[in-house]
Structure 1
Amino acid sequence: MSDDGTIKEQDNVDFCTLGMLIIDEIHFEGSRPPVYGILGGAGSFAVLGARMVAGKQYGKAVSWIVDVGSDFPADVINTIQTWDTGCVIREDKSRLTTRAWNGYGANEKRDFKYLTPKLRLEPFMLSQAQIFSKTFHMVCSSERCIHIVEEILHKREELQNHSTSIQSVTKPIFVWEPVPDRCTPEDQDKFLAASRMVDIVSPNELELGMMFGRPGWNEADPEDRKLVQKILHSGIGFDKQGTLVIRAGKDGSYSYSLGRKGTWLPAYHETQADQASKVIDPTGAGNSFLGALAQGMISEGRQGHQIIETTLAASSPWDKIKTRWGNDGQVPKAVICATVAAGFVVEQIGVPTVSMAEDGRETWNGTEFTERLRIYTQRLCKTLEQSSSDHDWLED
């Protein structure tokens, strides 16, 4: 950013999260011992997902704020720096770092509570470059979601009206994941109202079920299908053309938009053998999925999307999916990126490790993101041929 506060070309931001970095302790079901001092938080994992999709070339365009307290672990700072993102660090020695307790039960159901006072991020804390981000990620209540969207749009309009150096920009893409403890029947109307403010809303299957007084959500259940229809007809986004993405863990994800047939995509680790041997800890996978999804929505023409297009070029089911979704399959391609990113996150407790090979290739857990994207899309070709991804019940 220049001295007068205007945005330079190199300051363009692809992705910005309103989520926090949190230092976690994680307690597992059964006899597995707990772990402490783990880099976590929805903001951290969302940034991680966006950064994988962005690649090193666009890493600095992935932006976030990290609040560092007096007890902030030095090794966490070192890990963050290896990501090479547009990270803004705010240090305050008068407070403790935000810490939280995570407890897992049956079917990966997670309980969560803060152990120290949280320092929530607000739109007024964002820099001018961050305010003009192409995408925003939020994990919050319905009321807070509406507040964040309104404040960001108001601030953008205000800055544009008072500066001749800021050109008119396209409305950003807002990606919202509702907080689990507010997914209740009492909050249902608020949820529907907030969904009309965002481009993508993404509860997981348990949270979606809880929102409507059910134990979970199952695509095969006719009553659960009606829930999807209710949300879509209530409206997602200002033009009602937004997307509901239901994250279903080991069962992959389901994407729906008004007037289109639904699209199911399998998880990256889709076989029972892979899930048993390679899925170590699901903490943060959903956040990383959505960070990657947001980044994938604005990555048209970049290497990752080119790999998807090339690998799936001969697939007639994929061609039908692209046609139905329009905009050259922007949403399903972004969901593919999200699926691959989440596949890295579940492979260890904490975050995957990024390394730079001698030839300049960037790897996560020893594998390039783009290579896993190629592997996944090659498998997806066969999956789409063998099983229907069309959900006729949803078509208007």
Structure 2
Amino acid sequence: MFIIDEFSFLDDNGKSTAKSLAPQIGGGGTYASIGARVWLPPSQVGMIIDRGSDFPPSMETELAEFGDEMWVYRNQPTGTTRALNTYRGDHRSFDYITPRIRITPKDLQGTRLEKPTTLHFICSPSRAATIMSEAQQISGWNPTVIYEPIPDRCVPEELDPLIKVLPFVNILSPNAEEALALLSLPLPPTQKLIEEAAHKFLEFGVGVNGNGCVIIRSGAMGACVAMKNQSPRWVSAFWTSEEEDKIVDVTGAGNSFLGGLSAGLSLEDGDIYKATFYASVSASMIIEQEGLPAISVANGTTHWNGDSPQRRLNELRMRHGEPKD
């Protein structure tokens, strides 16, 4: 879903602080689409936006900067989906303040987004099963499925529904805290615990015949990429611990990571490990500011926040001893 995010800032006693933030473009799908757009032309990326009469013209203008053809607008008399992000100290809560307009695979039919090669979605395990059941009813469509469990449903009670849907997804990608919570493993995350979690998910059987992949997004530690009968491999975060000043707001980082992964799969002929480098760079663009990154074109080259994604990709590959383009 596309979401208009609103914000409330409270002190530790629950009283409103002086800090304020204007409503912003939100929604995990939006950030995932931008993460893919870092690498692909707008004609190859897209999502549906349910737009009410309350949809700010400034947001439509901002979205158009990334390419009008990315966005399939549907006018809704009920208004645009809105949510309130409440920050109390270091704790963030998220609550919908309008009815949600959910999107299903059938909504893509009859639009230019029909039968995409890659499908990314964020929801509870139970809803994931419903989405995959609907997708399988669409004749001639067999997308690469990237499933991101919604954070507030990453609890032990959701493990059994998750196990049931895993054979129908190609890539499972919770973040480290979510993965450990689902499996009732202790916090804080460590590399050993994260690899243990990835192994457990693979044992449950990800993908057809267990040939899928688990990518556990682990913040500053990078991302753990695990596949059947292979040792886990790590791709580091682009911004290192020595560059913390570059990290302004991590909202949407995981979503954009998976959008970048989707694009990388397209550009690297389905090689998941190589695609994860694209994912890490996409996330690096999102966390440098509040809201979406700035896109610009200079001398025929597209830049994001004034930098070249390809330059960052080459730098990240060199850190890992991988050949650059």
Query: Could you say which structure has the larger radius of gyration?
Result: 1
Aligned positions, number: 315
| Structure 1 residue ranges (4+ consecutive) displaced by more than 3 angstroms after TM superposition | 26-32, 103-106, 214-217, 219-222, 224-227
What aligned pairs does 1:108-119 form with structure 2 within 5 A after superposition?
A: 110-119=92-101
Q: 2:32 aligns with which of 35, 46, 50?
A: 46
Please provide the CA RMSD for this pair: 2.2
- Separation of aligned partners in 1, 2:232 and 2:293: 31
What is the match of residue 345 of structure 1?
286
Once the two structures are TM-superposed, the CA of residue 32 in structure 1 deviates from its matched residue by 8.4
Identity of aligned residues (%): 33
- Separation of aligned partners in 2, 1:374 and 1:209: 32
Matched, 1:130 2:113: yes
Q: Give the letter aligned to residue 159 of structure 2.
A: Q
Q: 2:273 aligns with which of 332, 341, 354?
A: 332
- Separation of aligned partners in 1, 2:196 and 2:88: 28
User: 2:9 touches 2:88 (CA, 8 Å); kept in 1?
Assistant: yes
* Shift in alpha-carbon separation, 1:130–1:68, aligned structure 2, 3 A: same
User: 1:208 touches 1:217 (CA, 8 Å); kept in 2?
Assistant: no
What is the match of residue 206 of structure 1?
177
Q: Give the letter aligned to residue 206 of structure 1.
A: E
TM-score with structure 1 setting the length: 0.74
- Separation of aligned partners in 1, 2:7 and 2:31: 15
Matched, 1:99 2:82: yes
- Separation of aligned partners in 1, 2:179 and 2:9: 23
What is the match of residue 255 of structure 1?
225
1:45 is paired with a residue whose SS is: helix
TM-score with structure 2 setting the length: 0.90
1:92-130 deviation digits (Å, cap 9, x = unpaired): 2x2221111224578x76431112111111122113443
The structure carrying a bigger helix percent of its residues is 1
Q: 1:144 aligns with which of 115, 118, 127?
A: 127
User: 1:200 touches 1:245 (CA, 8 Å); kept in 2?
Assistant: yes
Once the two structures are TM-superposed, the CA of residue 375 in structure 1 deviates from its matched residue by 2.4
What is the match of residue 302 of structure 2?
362
Matched, 1:295 2:278: no
What aligned pairs does 1:154-165 form with structure 2 within 5 A after superposition?
A: 154-155=137-138, 157=139, 160=140
User: 1:123 touches 1:151 (CA, 8 Å); kept in 2?
Assistant: yes
1:239 is paired with a residue whose SS is: helix
- Separation of aligned partners in 2, 1:45 and 1:212: 27
Q: 2:4 aligns with which of 13, 20, 23?
A: 23
